[in-house]
Amino acid sequence: MISVMICFLLGLIGTLFLYAVVNTLKMTRLKSKYTPPPADDEARMLAEKLAAMVRCETVSSPGQTDLSAFEELQAVMEKLFPLVHQKLEKTVIDGNLLFHWKGTGSGQPILLMSHQDVVPAAGAWTHDPFGGEISPDGKIWGRGTADTKGSVMAFFQAVENLLAAGYNPACDVYLASSCTEEWGGDGAPKLVAELKRRGVELFLLCDEGGAIINEPVGGIHGNFAMVGVFEKGKANVRFTARSAGGHASAPTKNSPAARVAAFIHSMETHSPFKKKFSPEVKAMFGRLAPYAPFGLRLVLGNLWLFGPILKPIMGSISAQAGAMLQTTAAFTVLSGSEAYNVLPQEASVGVNMRFIPHQGEKESLELIKARAAKYGLDMEVLLSNDFSPPVDIHGPAFKQVQLVICQTFPGLPVSPYVMTGATDAYFYQDICASCIRFAPILFGPEQMKGMHGLDECLEIRCLPGAVRFYENLIRAQETR
């Protein structure tokens, strides 16, 4: 009887595998065909504008009150984009920018946004991080080129171009740029409060997050428009173990440091968080599958069969892809005794958590609290917010952005994408059901490595396309 069951199961598995192979063979093999054209005079002109913005050292930090660097940047932008400042209604709230371009119709408005502030530029750079150097190989160097003054420059230039052409938008258009994004400050909430005061309800907003990514998944070659459709929630949590301390010459077992270490090891080896392919992740892999080599195409194109095998190993293949499947907990800050010969009375670990929709803020915090309690650790939540509602990938806003991407960048595939980081778009959910995270900027391995790291840079050849994308997105509102 057992042998019959085994034969039946093997036959079923073989049949399912054969079906998956046939399904994969029937899948049309595709190739990403988009590459930015070589840099021309327009690209160099745009690079000079971006360079001028990069030279303003708009580093932000919690509790910052000195806005002089942002005032300097805004003065530069007024010179770079004179028509925007002459024709649009400008509002400045504690260094945070909001521009209103009145449309000819009464349709729901759109908002283009990205932030002015940048992270510090520590370490040994090979190019001045605030020099705005444009090198002969067609790159512009400096903190903020990619994150995110490049996109700020692009949508301001798009509006400048349309104003110069005498264009009037079909609906109201807003431009927004906070100066506190890098530390999750109150800049964006202040702008949202002002929009709420005006009774504004947005059709869509377009912020940073996704981008044109080179090889978004290992083995899938070419450029792809990865459009962020939601972002995970986040929390900073501290766990503390306590004891009476003592002299290190007579150590006791289960000291605070040992309990913290055991807790970390437990979380790293046996995570309490469930892995699951959300509809958005399934859609992402489904869209990328036709561009993959056969083996990867077989797996990604048949998650109904290979999903259970792929889930536990996804994080080993790609940390970024693995983070799209579950709540994560990164151990970042450790403290204990201040002397080598003293047992600590307290040892603590700081954890940065990112919540996934199928196990949101409340459940994830309860799970990690229960795990910490097994090791006698107390939990303190320093800050926390839940995940953002996903954009409907079959809805009109996502479809319109997808259409504009295809119009602007012929041959560029489009895929939904899950943001594992945080953006200002999170704060706009009350006034916008379609908070789309997509900067029309090309990010290759060098750009990905440079963001928040050393030698941040951008290829200037991608700048004209970025400007054109925002122009086309504004024009696309005529057909709504």
- 367-393 b/e with 16+ CB inside 10 Å = b? bbeebbeebbbebeeeebebbbebbeb
Q: Which of 350, 385, 420 is the last residue of a domain?
A: 385
- 28-60 b/e with 16+ CB inside 10 Å = b? eeeebebebeebeeebeebbebbbbbbbbbbbb
Higher per-residue pLDDT: 248 or 163: 163
Both 162 and 254 in a single domain?
Answer: no
Both 214 and 255 in a single domain?
Answer: no
Taking 70 as the threshold, does the pLDDT of residue 1 lie above it?
Answer: no
Nearest to 322 by CA among 332, 313, 335: 313
Taking 90 as the threshold, does the pLDDT of residue 222 lie above it?
Answer: yes
Both 284 and 336 in a single domain?
Answer: yes
Nearest to 153 by CA among 126, 189, 177: 177
- 271-291 b/e with 16+ CB inside 10 Å = b? bbbebbbbebbbbbbebbbbb
Q: How far apart are the C-alpha atoms of 205 and 221, rounded to whole Å?
A: 29
**Residue 456 maps to a domain:** yes
Both 120 and 261 in a single domain?
Answer: no
Both 213 and 76 in a single domain?
Answer: yes
* CATH code assigned at 97: 3.40.630.10
Q: What backbone torsions phi and psi does residue 79 show, to the nearest 5 degrees?
A: -75, -35
Q: What backbone torsions phi and psi does residue 218 show, to the nearest 5 degrees?
A: -50, 125
**Residue 7 maps to a domain:** no
Both 204 and 305 in a single domain?
Answer: no
Taking 70 as the threshold, does the pLDDT of residue 88 lie above it?
Answer: yes
**Residue 97 maps to a domain:** yes
**Per-residue pLDDT reduced to its tens digit, 407-457:** 999 999 999 999 888 899 999 999 999 999 999 999 999 999 988 899 999
Torsion of CA 66, 68, 70, 75, to 10 degrees: 160
**251-260, 360-369, 425-434: which range is least confident on average?**
251-260
Instruction: Check residue 411 and give its pLDDT.
Output: 96
State whether residue 154 is helix, strand or coil. helix
**Residue 45 maps to a domain:** yes
Q: What domain count does the chain have?
A: 2
Reported as half-sphere exposure (CB side, CA atoms, 13 A), residue 447 has a value of 21
Both 226 and 250 in a single domain?
Answer: no
Q: Which of 332, 367, 385 is the last residue of a domain?
A: 385
Task: Give the whole-number percent of the chain exceeding pLDDT 70.
Answer: 98
Instruction: Check residue 132 and give its pLDDT.
Output: 97
The angle, 0 to 180 degrees and rounded to 10, between the axes of the packed helices 150-164 and 41-54 is 120
Radius of gyration of the chain (CA): 25
8 Å CB contact between 226 and 435: no
**Per-residue pLDDT reduced to its tens digit, 274-330:** 999 999 999 999 999 999 999 999 999 999 999 998 898 888 877 888 899 999 999
Both 238 and 368 in a single domain?
Answer: yes
Domain residue limits at 305: 233-385
Q: How far apart are the C-alpha atoms of 360 and 305, rounded to whole Å?
A: 26
Instruction: Check residue 420 and give its pLDDT.
Output: 87
Q: Which of 385, 409, 440 is the last residue of a domain?
A: 385
Per the listing, tokens 């437990």 go with 266
Both 333 and 473 in a single domain?
Answer: no
Taking 70 as the threshold, does the pLDDT of residue 54 lie above it?
Answer: yes
Both 253 and 353 in a single domain?
Answer: yes
Q: Does the pTM of the predicted model rise above 0.85?
A: yes
**Residue 29 maps to a domain:** no
216's tokens: 């978004």
8 Å CB contact between 109 and 202: yes
**Residue 287 maps to a domain:** yes
Instruction: Check residue 247 and give its pLDDT.
Output: 75
146's tokens: 């990619």
Both 374 and 403 in a single domain?
Answer: no
With 0-12 / 13-18 / 19 or more C-beta atoms within 10 angstroms meaning exposed / middle / buried, residue 475 is middle
**Residue 46 maps to a domain:** yes
Helix residue ranges, H only, 289-409: 294-300, 303-317, 319-323, 361-373, 396-408
The chain-wide mean pLDDT, for the chain, equals 94
**Residue 31 maps to a domain:** no
* CATH code assigned at 362: 3.30.70.360
Both 70 and 90 in a single domain?
Answer: yes
